[in-house]
Amino acid sequence: MRVVVIGATGNLGTALLARLQAEPAVTELVGVARRGPRSASPPYGDVTWFSIDVGDDDAPAQLEHAFAGADAVVHLGWALQPSHDRDAMYRTNVTGTSHVLDAATRARVPHVLVASSVGAYSRGPKGRRVDEGYRVRGVRRSSYSSYKATNESILDGFARQHPDVVVTRMRPGLVFQAAAAREIVGLFAGRWVPTRWLSRVRPPFLPLSPRFVSQVVHADDVADAFWRAIDRRAGGAFNLAAEPIVDPHAVARAFGSRLLPVPYRVLRGAALITWLLRLQPTEPGWLDIAAKVPIMSTEKARRELGWAPTRSSDETLREFVGGLAAGTSNEASHPLRG
């Protein structure tokens, strides 16, 4: 089986390479990234690499070459920065997805899998769980959510036009692992923000809104779901999340801290001002996602893929905080260096 992974050096891509390398049925792995790995250390060895920017005008032809003979293509490529440059973000995140699907059509790939997100869902309930049939129109004022919802619409159109192609979309909660801790902090707070002090002292309190109720999942568990979908040639959408649901108290506990409740509007206003002043790189739309996206049911993935997370949400958060305290990063990967 020949499997191509786009965005193979990122948080989820690195975990997926490791998962696929453990499967005897996968005889050839192809990695696509804007910049390839810095070394052949695991899991980047035994992978055929293509350096392709999926947003480039030439990308469809380059991707078609990389996709030749593929049994499955997994599209994980995504840009979270520069958040102030919407054109650049759209080019990578939306135009890039269209280029991937165009190339998959040209190369006659039978199975296309795409990383969507809980952020693709419209505003929804926190007190009950929604399945994969819930509205996928995104959350207003979040570019990330808007682009994920747009890609879902693109995938709908692709599936209608190419009924012979199996189309799979995964909708995970927030994806964490220790190796990506510095990358994630770098993307959302700035790459020069120190974190090693967490190994010596923990913050006395964390200012969070009580409305921030969400779900997380470990990167290895998301990777396992992708493999199960590839192995079963399973199409459709799948929600992925660990238990229990994460509330602000759970986040504070993971940091060894206490919760300081702050009104949502106050936090969002502070995020907006500091983002507009370019004091920090995270647009306030991320707070809208945390406060407004629904809580997902993962019953379909458990039933159809035989999937179950191996790490709880509490374990995943503790591992992530431990990675921050240790300054963990993967020097072989440009994205994971943080």
> Which CATH number characterizes residue 128's domain?
3.40.50.720
96-106 and 143-161 are packed helices; what angle lies between their axes, rounded to 10 degrees? 20
pLDDT tens, the chain, 338 aa long: 999 999 999 999 999 999 999 999 999 999 999 998 888 888 999 999 999 999 999 999 999 999 999 999 999 999 999 999 999 999 999 999 999 999 999 999 999 999 999 999 999 999 999 999 999 999 989 999 999 999 999 999 999 999 999 999 999 999 999 988 888 888 888 777 778 888 888 889 999 999 999 999 999 999 999 999 999 999 999 999 999 999 999 999 999 999 999 999 999 999 999 999 999 999 999 999 999 999 999 999 999 999 999 999 999 999 999 999 887 666 555 555 54
Going by C-alpha positions, the residue among 22, 1, 11, 5 that lies closest to residue 316 is 11
- Distance from C-alpha of 172 to C-alpha of 88, rounded to nearest angstrom: 24
Considering its fold, how many domains does the chain have in total? 1
Q: Does residue 129 fall inside a structural domain?
A: yes
Range of the domain at 168: 2-172+218-240+294-308
Is the Cα torsion angle 275, 11, 73, 116 positive or negative in sign? Answer: negative
Asked whether residue 200 is domain-assigned, the answer is no
Residue 53 within any structural domain of the chain? yes
95 within some domain: yes
Q: Write down the pLDDT at residue 338.
A: 44
**3-class SS at 146?**
helix
Q: Which of 39, 72, 15, 25 is nearest to 332 (CA)?
A: 39
For tokens 């199975």, what's the residue?
111
Is the residue at 8 inside a domain?
yes
> What values do phi and psi take at 239, rounded to 5?
-80, 140
pTM greater than 0.85 (yes/no):
yes
Residue 106 included in any domain: yes
Note whether residue 162 is domain-resident: yes
> Exposure pattern of 182-212 as b/e (b: 16+ CB <10 Å)?
bbbbbbbeeeeeebeebeeebeeebebbebb
